[in-house]
Amino acid sequence: MAGKEGLQNILSVVVVVAFVVALAYFALRSGSGPESSTTTLAAPPSTKPPLQTTLTTETTVVTLPLDVQKFRGAVGEGNLSGCSGIEDQRLRETCVRDVAIKTNNSQLCRELTMNDLADICYYKLAVNLKDNSMCGSILNEKIAQSCITKTGG
């Protein structure tokens, strides 16, 4: 009997969710014309630039800031030159770090001017490659010690 009650509860929730989705759909359709409707949602107050989100009755489109698009492309392809077009310094250096890790290129870690990013770069490469010689390039003592432990040094 308990199994039937549980199934009935799940079905009730599904029906309620379907009803709410249907209400939202019809509310959007009746808002600005018979063909389709588009609503732009305002982002909550933030110190970061807001993402522009457009809701339509058929799909959701999210437009990411250009720097984030460049970052994702460069890291996804393991392409260092894609990082150079990123204006935000921290995001640009994070891009270089992530490309270094993806391509197992410790030379790129040396190009980083932000010590925390360089430390993470050396740490991840050392662990991935099981090469404790890179642990000596890590400035943060706790991370360096963890690197030595993880690489068996």
Pairing of strands 38-41, 52-56: antiparallel
Looking from the CA of 78 toward its CB, the CA atoms found within 13 Å total: 6
Report whether pLDDT(17) > 70: no
Over range 36-43, report the average pLDDT.
44
Report whether pLDDT(136) > 60: yes
The residue among 114, 102, 152 whose CA lies nearest residue 131 is 152
Q: Residue 43: what pLDDT?
A: 47
pTM, to two decimals: 0.58
H/E stretch holding 52 reads strand 52-56
Over range 1-20, report the average pLDDT.
57
Q: Say which residue, 46 or 135, is predicted with more confidence.
A: 135
Over range 31-40, report the average pLDDT.
43
The pLDDT tens digits of the residues spanning 72-93 come to 888 888 888 898 988 999 999 9
Task: Look over the chain and give the mean of its residue pLDDT values, rounded to a whole number.
Answer: 76
What is the percent of the chain with per-residue pLDDT over 70, rounded to a whole number? 58
Report whether pLDDT(33) > 60: no
Q: Residue 95: what pLDDT?
A: 92
Q: Please, which residues have CB within 8 angstroms of residue 85's CB and are 6 or more apart in sequence? A: 70
Confidence band for 41, pLDDT divided at 50, 70 and 90: very low
The pLDDT tens digits of the residues spanning 94-131 come to 999 999 999 999 999 999 999 999 999 999 999 999 99
